[in-house]
Amino acid sequence: MILPPREPQALLICGLLSPDSKLIKSIEQTLSDHFGQVALRSEVMPFDWTDYYNAEMGEGILRRWVVFSKPINLLQSWELKLKTCEIEDGLKQDGKRTVNIDPGLVRLDGLWLFSTKPAGHRTYLDEGIWIELTVRFLKERCDELPWTYPDHRDPGVQLFMLKARELLKKQLSDNE
């Protein structure tokens, strides 16, 4: 007997960047209003892995990740990036973003991030949205790829990503 394939499961994760810690908390609430309850959050930490966003947001940028408890429908997951871009655009000042929201998916096999920029290692989804495997999960560790971002190479950040994966594993085992 051939069983139908099980739909892959994932949890939404959003990386938040802003020099304003109050804005990070506010954005977390806005995202929760759209995507449901936050199940896991990282500490707010200095974003000092790169100065890529400094020209747009200034210095002293902070980083937080939030993971939402509701499983994601992978077929429409690209719509999450459109929504976060809309939220970012609504908070622009003088044409510059005050917050950067990077949505992605925590799956059992890795951390997948959405992007509006094409690249050779990204797969096109729809409406100008691409997706990439950013970090692979192998057994109980993270495996970096050539394009893994500097902040995703940080051991503390990787521990958080593995914690998010454990949350997904628990949800999947509870549903069996």
Cross-strand partners of 133: 112
Question: What's the Cα-to-Cα distance from 74 to each of 14, 36, 158, rounded to whole Å?
Answer: 16, 16, 23
For range 133-149, the mean pLDDT: 95
Instruction: Decide if pLDDT at 102 tops 60.
Output: yes
Say if CB 54 and CB 103 are below 8 A apart. no
Q: Does 3 fall in a domain?
A: no
Residue 53 lies in a domain: yes
Measured torsion, CA atoms of residues 30, 36, 42, 43, in degrees rounded to the nearest 10: 40
Sequence-ordered alpha helix ranges (H) in 36-153: 54-57, 78-90
| Cβ atoms of 105 and 117 closer than 8 Å | no
Total domains present in the chain: 1
Give me the pLDDT at residue 6, please. Answer: 63
Ranges of H-type helices in 53-154: 54-57, 78-90
Cα–Cα distance between 92 and 71 in angstroms, integer?
30
CA distance 127 to 52: 25
Residue 5 lies in a domain: no
Mark out the alpha helices in 36-154 (DSSP H runs).
Answer: 54-57, 78-90
Q: What proportion of the chain, given as a percentage, has pLDDT over 90?
A: 85
| Residue 2 located in a structural domain | no
Q: What is the DSSP letter of 117?
A: S
Is there a contact between 103 and 64 (Cβ–Cβ < 8 Å)? no
Does a structural domain hold residue 4?
Answer: no
Give residue 43's pLDDT band: very low, low, confident or very high (50, 70, 90): very high
Note the residue count of the chain.
176
- pLDDT category of residue 45 using cuts at 50, 70 and 90: very high
- Distance (Å, rounded) from C-alpha 140 to C-alpha 61? 30
Q: Which residues form the domain of 155? A: 11-174
Is 98 inside any structural domain? yes
Please report whether residue 120 resides in a domain: yes
Handedness of CA 58, 149, 43, 65 (dihedral sign): positive
Residue 141 lies in a domain: yes
Confidence (pLDDT) at 176: 66
